[in-house]
Amino acid sequence: MSDPVPPFVPEYARPDAPGVHLRPDNSVSVYHIIGAEDTFEQAAQAVFSLLAEAQRRFPDWPRVLTLDVVGHAGEAAGFDPDFYEFQQDFLFSTLAPFVTALETPLTGPLLNPEPQRNDVPDRLKIGGDTRPHAGQVIGDH
């Protein structure tokens, strides 16, 4: 019986510029800077567009998503509620399955424990959040 193949772990190298770039370890860097003027939806669409571009240009190659957040300061671990939720919930539930690794100011670098999905949808649709606590930061109990 052979040993299982370990997951690909990309070398860490912060990208020099935003966009989609081929990395020396044969992975693809997807880097976006969320600006102070960006809304949650604008940031989500921009990051999704970069992921879709990475899949088109480099089909099924391991992707590493790096985000920086400028502005959006607040009391939720240093971020306003929207960009705390963006990094804590939205990325993990929506975009993280389509990358091998990611790094955000809130989480630091993380490796996806599951194989990267390559069936990136054609578009991202964001609906209004109807949960009772939408827009609020809920503390740990």
pLDDT single digits (tens) 27-59: 999 999 999 899 999 999 999 999 999 999 999
Residues near 72 by beta carbon (within 8 Å), at least 6 away in sequence: 34, 36, 79, 80, 82, 83
Provide the pLDDT confidence category of residue 11 given band limits of 50, 70 and 90. low
Let me know: does 63 contact 118? Beta carbons within 8 Å: no
Q: How many CB atoms lie within 10 A of CB 58?
A: 16
Q: Answer whether 31's CB lies under 8 Å from 18's CB.
A: yes
Q: What is the pLDDT of residues 64-122, one digit of tens each?
A: 999 998 888 888 778 888 888 888 888 888 999 999 999 998 889 999 999 999 999 98
Among the listed ranges 15-19, 47-51, 88-92, 127-131, which one has the minimum average pLDDT value? 127-131
Q: Are 65 and 95 in contact (CB under 8 A)?
A: yes
